Chain A
Amino acid sequence: MRVAVVGVQGDAAEHVAAVERAAASYGHSVEATAVRNAGVVPDCDAVALPGGESTTISRLLHRRDIAPELVAHVEAGKPLFATCAGLIVAARDARDDRVETLDVLDVAVDRNAFGRQRDSFESRLDVAGLDDPFPAVFIRAPAVADVGPDVEVLATVDGQPVAVREGPVVGLAFHPELTDDSRLHDVALFDPLTGG
């Protein structure tokens, strides 16, 4: 399978490495590519939308015509794995007009919900469907503030949803690509494609 990692800005290199690591540990044959231009996403089976700065990423996705391809990808029912800034960009509403969201995930998000960088943190996080807690890294992280009727909440911090799923879209407020734990890549990317 082909996985596109949106690479206009942010930690795309870490996501490519994490997708490859995850594929190896679950025995899938995967080609992961960082994407900076239009024309690649339509040929891919799954897409990861990495962390970075949501203002910058959303501007570049529209300026470089990748935004409509991502919307079509989700409309076709193909998996999208959106982390941190990716979650903000994928949301219905970022509650900030500096971010033009894709509206492919029926949630509103609060940017920097836990504060500035000095408030960023690591924590073991209980996630629905995983047997053991997940090592979650939150960096100037958003939180989900308002959840649509078809959205499943997978994890919370201090009462605020930080992991959600709606159909083919999984959104996380944290960074699974910064650790060696591949379980959420499996949940978001490989399970839907292999019927796992």
Chain B
Amino acid sequence: MAEPTDLENLRRGTDLVKRGFARMQQGGVIMDVVTREQARIAEDIGAVAVMALEAVPADIRKRGGVARMPDPANVEGIIDEVSIPAMGKSRIGHRKEAEILEALGVDMIDESEVLTPADDRYHIDKREFTAPFVCGARNLQEALRRIDEGAAMIRTKGEAGTGDVNQAVHHQRNIKGAIRQLTGMKHEEREKWAREHEAPAHLVHETAEMGRLPVVNFAAGGIATPADAALMMYHGCDGIFVGSGVFGAEDPERMGTAIVDAVNDWDDPEALAQVAGAAGSGMSGESNASLPEEEQLQDRGV
């Protein structure tokens, strides 16, 4: 046997370790939960991770007021309840909420526009954390700014709590379309694109050369049915966040199981038909088109 490695020479919180964690979530469904019981159900129906928050987005919308990080005692309870990763949401720019979540031991922090932003100009400097971060983006330049700040995962910024997938599709098309465009550009054209879109040039080049974002790219916001999840996989997402879609459905266990299956069967219409038929009714939802601008969450933190 080889010489044993001891725990002295280990490097924690590196980009490779943080982005690597995000890569392990691929092909998975990350479900919003507000209680331990919901976390247990989410794990049992095949969620790859749970996201702790104080209320699901649909309820945050209804309730109004300031939405903050979840209660630490509740986060601890959720962490204890499941063996899969537990994530937690912090407000945009709220470094202290993020530090509290990291100290509690959450496996990933979502710096999320679903909560009320704490800083209207700056995001958290995520490179200083050992915990990996996921951030929302409406387009490629926003995604690359977040990656430059240290985000290890990007998700679309679809209108959370509406049950309307249209904005998530819009954002994913923006990101993929811009990458296709960059791939065909010469070096100086990419440099100009970076300047015009306020995007870090080194990440513009890296993305163009890879033909994809350098971190995994999930769908989030308004995904309410197995067909919605399959649609986002068709648009090239690496996995799915479901907020109000599972626990706002008529039968959360059936809906959650069906969404997990749909992520595997997104390219098989016959299997998908069976999966969709087993889901039960989805959350009621509210069309994006009917939302006044001040109620849209996606314009927070760009």
Contact = CB atoms under 8 A, between A and B. Distances in A.
- A and B interact physically: yes
Interface of A: 7-14, 36-37, 51-53, 55-56, 59-60, 63-64, 84-85, 96, 98, 111-112, 116-128, 130, 137, 139-140, 153-159, 175, 178-179
B43 A11 contact: no
A117 B131 contact: yes
B92 to A, nearest CB: 21
B17 interface: yes
Contacts of A36: 264-265
Nearest to A178: B20
Given A117-B85, A121-B10, A158-B7, A52 B27 contact: yes
A156 B83 CA distance: 24
B24 A122 contact: no
A50 to B, nearest CB: 9
B211 interface: no
Interface stretch (B46-54, B171-179, B194-202, B290-298): B46-54
Given A8-B27, A8-B264, A9-B28, A118 B4 contact: no
Nearest to B102: A118
B12 A119 contact: yes
| Nearest 3 A/B pairs, CB to CB | A126-B2, A117-B107, A121-B10
Nearest to A121: B10
Given A122-B16, A156-B5, 15 more contacts: A7-B27, A37-B268, A52-B25, A52-B28, A53-B48, A53-B49, A63-B261, A117-B132, A120-B21, A123-B10, A123-B11, A124-B9, A125-B5, A158-B4, A158-B5
B23 interface: yes
Q: Determine chain B's interface SS by DSSP, over half rule.
A: loop
Contacts of A98: 43, 83
A137 B83 CA distance: 20
B23 A118 contact: no
* Chain B contact patch, size range: 35 or more
B24 A52 contact: yes
Given A9-B28, A56-B46, A137 B16 contact: yes
B6 interface: yes
Given A11-B24, A140-B21, A116 B2 contact: no
B14 interface: yes
A52 B107 contact: no
B24 A153 contact: no
A12 B25 CA distance: 11
Given A9-B26, A128-B2, A137 B20 contact: yes
B66 interface: no
A56 B264 CA distance: 12
A127 B105 CA distance: 31
Contacts of B16: 122, 137, 178-179
A175 B5 CA distance: 16
B108 interface: yes
Contacts of B46: 56, 59-60
B13 interface: yes
B130 A118 contact: yes
B289 interface: no
Contacts of A123: 5, 9-11
Contact of A117 (B2, B7, B28, B108): B108
Contacts of A85: 24
A8 B24 CA distance: 12
Nearest to B86: A116
Nearest to B129: A118
B73 interface: no
A146 B237 CA distance: 39
